[in-house]
Amino acid sequence: MSHQSGIVWLASYPKSGNTWTRHFLHSLLKVLHGEAGAQSINNMGRFSSGEAGRWRYSAMVGREITKDDNELIPTLRPKVQVKLADEAGGVAFIKTHNALLMDEGQPVINPAATAGAVYIVRNPLDVVISLSHHRGKPIDDTIDFMACEGMRTVIGEKQVYEIWGSWSEHVHSWTRSPHPAIYVMRYEDMLAEPSKTFGGLARHLKMNPSAAELDSALEMSSFDSLQAQEKEGGFRERPEAATANFFRSGKADQWRDVLTASQIDQIASSHEAQMQRFGYLPN
């Protein structure tokens, strides 16, 4: 998993900072190319895209993929990823919420098409709040959803299914052993130390911006900037079921004011090992 060209995965469990990271990378590339103006949140297909778009799979088989085509997806996915890598002609930033698992004997993430990965992890005590708004479901339902091992989505109008697994399963799959081609960063560090965290990401990707270039990209991709853009023009990636804006809060430790003691205990007992690894277990 460290070819000179191919896919660099922008991977995370949902509502962990993936879109924010994509926007930062777009903003930095614009700065490095000498382009003025903020990156539109609705035009992030220029330097990055998603892997699970249903149209990609339909194009591969020459007909419309339907919700009954589940058995086709595991065999098509590695081919779709090779095509993505080939089309890029260099490095392609591709967003995924897939866990790093096998699906019916096929890799969900094809190593033959992969140059590396960025993995973003966020405290599940905060993820559950954001994800419940995103799904339009209660927090207790979302706690159970995040603990469901092997969880996979369904083939929808725009996307084929993804395999998320449980929150712990997802995090463990991408971070179980250090890998030089995988840059792991915590959402909380993105908030608390943006220059250090995003600067480390830029250096990992061999972009090497100056301090001024980094500051400019960080300013353009601040959470306040993303919220203002969504308020003004909406965000096309926001699901219809969502009960709040996509860029809803952008804060750490919301759980202290939102979750009950019982809910905190349930999440901590379900995900203790991975929470311990990343410093998320509450006292």
The pLDDT tens digits of the residues spanning 122-134 come to 999 999 999 999 8
Does the residue 86 lie in any domain?
Answer: yes
Does the residue 254 lie in any domain?
Answer: yes
Does the residue 282 lie in any domain?
Answer: no
Number of C-beta neighbours around residue 221 at 10 A: 23
Distance CA 174, CA 119 (A): 7
The predicted structure's pLDDT at residue 189: 96
The predicted structure's pLDDT at residue 43: 59
Distance CA 178, CA 160 (A): 30
Does the residue 19 lie in any domain?
Answer: yes
Q: How far is CA 248 from CA 8, 10, 157, 237, in A?
A: 27, 21, 24, 13
The pLDDT tens digits of the residues spanning 91-133 come to 889 999 999 999 999 999 999 999 999 999 999 999 999 999 9
Does the residue 41 lie in any domain?
Answer: yes
Residues of the chain falling short of pLDDT 70: 1-4, 36-48, 223-225, 227-250
The predicted structure's pLDDT at residue 259: 98
Number of domains within the chain: 1
Q: Return left, alpha or beta for 8; rule: phi > 0 is left, psi -120 to 50 is alpha, else beta.
A: beta
- Expressed as residue numbers, the domain containing 151 is 6-277
The predicted structure's pLDDT at residue 35: 78
Does the residue 130 lie in any domain?
Answer: yes
DSSP code string of 193-226: -HHHHHHHHHHHTT----HHHHHHHHHHT-HHHH
For helices 139-146 and 124-135, give the axis angle rounded to 10 degrees.
Answer: 120
Give the DSSP H/E element, type plus range, for residue 97: none
What b-and-e string marks burial along 167-204, b requiring 16 or more CB atoms within 10 Å of the CB? bbbbbbbbbeeeeeebbbbbbbbbbeebeebbbebbeb
Does the residue 266 lie in any domain?
Answer: yes
The predicted structure's pLDDT at residue 266: 98
Does the residue 71 lie in any domain?
Answer: yes
The predicted structure's pLDDT at residue 2: 46
Q: Which CATH number fits the domain that encloses residue 203? A: 3.40.50.300
Q: How far is CA 117 from CA 11, 95, 122, 175, 258, in A?
A: 7, 10, 16, 11, 32
